[in-house]
Amino acid sequence: MTKAETIDYYAKRSAEYERIYDKPERQNDLEQLRTTLAGMFGGLDLLEIACGTGYWTQCASRSATSIVATDYSEEVLDIAREKEFGDCPVTFVKADAYSLDGVDGPFSAGLVCFWWSHIPNVQIDNFLRVLHSKLAKGATVVVLDNRYVEGSSTPISRTDNEGNSYQTRKLGDGSKYEIVKNFPNEDEFKRRIDAVAEDCSFTTLEYFWLAQYTLAVSAADQGATADGSRRR
């Protein structure tokens, strides 16, 4: 699936997107995640990537000082803009997660919910370089995504030779899309951020995983770590 097809899929799915959060067996985990996220960003200016309809933006707004929430789809951003965010100023910006053009910085926190799993493995390092370039040294980064659970998750339809797995998703109008959906374990996740992060925690719930780390390098240092060498 191309980047354009992924964007098209989510634009078409915008109206039915949050039904995924209604699955009865996932409610305990979701409650725990909502509570955790609501308390994570005290005093921090947060940049959220691929915010979708703003479900997690709303949780983060309980503690964040401010939020810039980005997504590539105007359809989902329009839904998100209708939500209530209390006293937290939230700005929604259309931006491609792979470039974040038009997004200023540096922010003191980053949030990535249910987007990591859609990034083809070959693109992850580039995505992280772009995200980290918008964050200050010492920023808190939170990443949340699905675990694969037989009987609850959409079955994996195939795996390619770069290690990406795929799911075939059907929308209410009957259209079908094959999307990248990867399910990294703790070691795989930590390997991706090891060179630029410290204090990484990885929490495994029944249906989800939640990672948190501190960005240990500045934007300038990250240019110098493009070869993968450790800078701290």
Residues that bind ligand SAM (CB under 6 A): 3, 6-7, 10, 50-52, 55-56, 71-73, 76, 96-98, 113-115
Query: DSSP code of 147?
Result: P
Measure the CA angle with vertex 109, ends 57 and 99; round to 5°.
Answer: 85
Task: Choose between 71 and 216: whose C-beta lies nearer to ligand SAM.
Answer: 71
Cβ 7 to ligand SAM, closest distance in Å?
A: 5
**First-last CA distance in the chain:** 37
Task: Choose between 100 and 217: whose C-beta lies nearer to ligand SAM.
Answer: 100
Cβ 61 to ligand SAM, closest distance in Å?
A: 14
Task: Choose between 72 and 189: whose C-beta lies nearer to ligand SAM.
Answer: 72
Indicate the SS3 state at residue 15: helix
Report the distance separating Cα 93 and Cα 72, nearest Å. 8
Q: Which residue is nearest to ligand SAM (CB)?
A: 52
| Among 48, 39, 82, residue whose Cα is nearest residue 66 | 48
Tokens 């694969």 identify what position?
148
Task: Choose between 50 and 217: whose C-beta lies nearer to ligand SAM.
Answer: 50
Cβ 149 to ligand SAM, closest distance in Å?
A: 17
Cβ 184 to ligand SAM, closest distance in Å?
A: 15
Residue 141 tokens, joined: 């980064």
Cβ 229 to ligand SAM, closest distance in Å?
A: 28
Task: Choose between 46 and 217: whose C-beta lies nearer to ligand SAM.
Answer: 46
* Residue type, position 71, single letter: D
> Which residues have a Cβ under 8 Å from the Cβ of 212 and sit 6 or more positions away?
40, 140, 141, 142, 143, 199, 200, 201
